[in-house]
Amino acid sequence: MQEIIDVCDSKGNYTGQKLPRSEIHKNKLWHRTVHMQIFDFDKRTLFQLRSMDKETFPNKLDVSAAGHISSGEKIIAAALRELEEELGLQLEESRLEYIDDFASEQAMPNGDVDREIQSFFIAKITEDEKLTLKIQESEVQKIVWFTGQELEQALRENADDFAPNEEEYALILKELSF
């Protein structure tokens, strides 16, 4: 069964319309997603290599975890769900820090357009929590940890290896530089 998603406008305000995910993309409608970036206490950050089977940006490096917000689901609940699904990471709501919303319009290989309002969160995890990470193989091929310098170099020299989330990457680099 296909996930049902709430349609929103370009500012993130819900319209009251609910549609299957494929219809939202086919009709180029705005909808909400969550993006989470994980950091450790050694000033490193976790990126995922997206599965080869992903509809958008297969085999690209991307934020730690991300996903669509299901119809009626609260944004923070979606963020926590996606962290658990994709990384096996169970965090309390208080550990997520909301950063900002970003509008993103990306053409899809099939001609559809993915129009998202992405709510961006960050969280820090301990060494013990890092040991419990377990990737969801249907979504994530592997995880990669970067220092700020390594990430900056990778984005500069291999930008095509990354999903297009430039605004978020700039914030991630800023977080790594303090």
Which alpha helices (DSSP H) does 35-165 contain, by range?
75-87, 127-131, 148-157
According to CATH, the superfamily of the domain at 4-176 is: Nucleoside Triphosphate Pyrophosphohydrolase (3.90.79.10)
pLDDT along the chain (178 residues), means of 10: 93 97 94 98 97 93 97 98 98 97 90 94 97 96 97 97 94 89
- Helices (H), ranges, the chain: 21-26, 75-87, 127-131, 148-157, 166-176
DSSP H or E stretch at residue 5: strand 4-8
**What pLDDT does 65 receive?**
98
pLDDT value at position 109?
Answer: 82
Going from N- to C-terminal start, the domains of the chain cover 4-176
Per-residue DSSP letter, 113: E
Q: What local confidence, expressed as pLDDT, does residue 80 receive?
A: 98
pTM (global) more than 0.75: yes
Query: What's the CA gap between 104 and 16, in Å, rounded?
Result: 21
- Predicted confidence at residue 178, as pLDDT, reads 57
Lookup result for tokens 């530089």: 177
Residue 163 is encoded by which pair of tokens? Answer: 């999903």
Token pair belonging to 65: 């975890």
Instruction: Name the nearest CA neighbour of 46 among 138, 157, 127, 159.
Output: 127
Q: Output the pLDDT for position 99.
A: 96
What Å distances lie between residue 141 and 3, 38, 93, 170, CA to CA?
22, 17, 26, 24
Largest CA distance in the chain: 45
